[in-house]
Structure 1
Amino acid sequence: MMDTFLSVSVCIMILTAACLGKTVLQTPDNLIKNQDESAVIICTHNIPSYYRILWYKQSPDMLGFILMGYLNYDAKNEEPEFKSKIKLDGDGQKNGTLIISNLTMTDSAVYFCAAYYTVLRISYL
């Protein structure tokens, strides 16, 4: 019986402003897993004003990214098409974990995390 191996590429997306010491890190760099195993990807940041971590997938046949879900403070929000496939853990203020379960060949992709904040502007008329 031949084993099937999946390559789950994890792109380290470093959003950094070196002079301000703001960094977003994603680990591990690369994963090779067997079919039906799980993959765990961790995203950390040190930006006090950022409270959301977003997770994206880019498949080999795609030009853009698909939003898989996000952590908003400690609320977990998986997009409907990924609810049965992924689990989010952690919080958006410091670190978050993406767990992809029951890997199949369609999970072979590049995964990105991004730290984010929202600017609210209120205008008076």
Structure 2
Amino acid sequence: MWLTASTFGNTVYQTPSKSIKDRDKSAVFVCTHNIADYYQIMWYKQTQGSLGLKLMGYLNRETDQVETDFKDKIDLKGNGRQNGTLTIKDLTEDDSAVYFCAAYDTVL
């Protein structure tokens, strides 16, 4: 299983940058940022041959929101202010992709 992480922006960091995992295992990615007024971390998936990104879910302050297609597949932990963790469970070949995190300015 080949998973790749990528980063948006100069002050958003995602680790690990690459991950190779066995089928049925879990993969964990951590996203951190230091942008003072940004309260949301968003997670995206890009599959091979796809030009677009698919929103998987996001952390808004301490609240997580997982998109319907990923409800049984991922867990989000952390907060949108500084850090968040994406866990992809029960890996299959369909999980081979590039995963992106992005910090976002939430307007209330």
TM-score for the superposition, normalised by structure 1? 0.84
State the AA in 2 paired with 1:78. Answer: V
CA distance in 2, matches of 1:14, 1:57: 13
% identity of equivalent residues: 55
Alignment of 1:1-125 (within 5 A): 6-11=1-6, 13-16=7-10, 23-119=11-107
State the AA in 2 paired with 1:101. Answer: K
1:8 Cα deviation after fit: 0.7
Q: Which has the higher strand share?
A: 2
TM-score for the superposition, normalised by structure 2? 0.96
User: What is the root-mean-square deviation of aligned Cα atoms in Å?
Assistant: 1.0
CA distance in 1, matches of 2:8, 2:67: 24
Q: Which has the larger radius of gyration?
A: 1
Q: Which runs of 5+ in 2 are unaligned?
A: none
Q: More relative contact order in 1 or in 2 (CA 8 Å, sep 6+)?
A: 2
Q: Which runs of 5+ in 1 are unaligned?
A: 1-5, 17-22, 121-125
1:118 Cα deviation after fit: 3.0
